[in-house]
Amino acid sequence: MININLAAPAPGVDIPNPTRNAPPALANMVDTVLGIAGWAGTAAGVAGILVTGAMMAVSFKRGEGSEHMGRLGMILGGCCLVATAGPIVTFVFAG
């Protein structure tokens, strides 16, 4: 059995109270990486829409039916997720 002492600390003992602020150099690096990731996600979404549009045009020209609308829906859903990632995380972790 583990004995845990939950008594209050002795008077005059300082209890550490860490802050939630990251060092400025680390915060700048994280902001840079997240900015690049957001840009890359947006660029991938635009490229996906362009490729899907081209595939739809070629399939229509050939008279073939395919599932391009489903693919387009997935791409647009991913673009919405990339665009709202920051506000969603801010909402969840706002203290």
pLDDT digits (tens, 9 = 90+) for 73-83: 899 999 999 88
Angle between helix 24-62 and 68-93 (nearest 10): 160
Q: What is the pTM of this model?
A: 0.64
Q: What is the pLDDT of residues 18-64, one digit of tens each?
A: 777 888 898 889 889 988 998 999 899 999 999 998 988 888 777 77
- Please give the pLDDT value at position 68: 82
- 7 pLDDT band, cuts 50/70/90, is low
d(CA 4, CA 2): 6
φ, ψ at 3 (rounded to 5°) = -100, 115
Residue 38 has a pLDDT of 87
In this structure, the number of other CB atoms found within 10 A of the CB of residue 82 comes to 18
Alpha carbon distance 52, 75 (integer Å): 9
DSSP run (H or E) holding 46:
helix 24-62
Q: Please give the residue that has the higher pLDDT: either 58 or 15.
A: 58
CB 30 within 8 A of CB 22: yes
Q: Is the dihedral of CA 21, 22, 28, 34 positive or negative?
A: negative
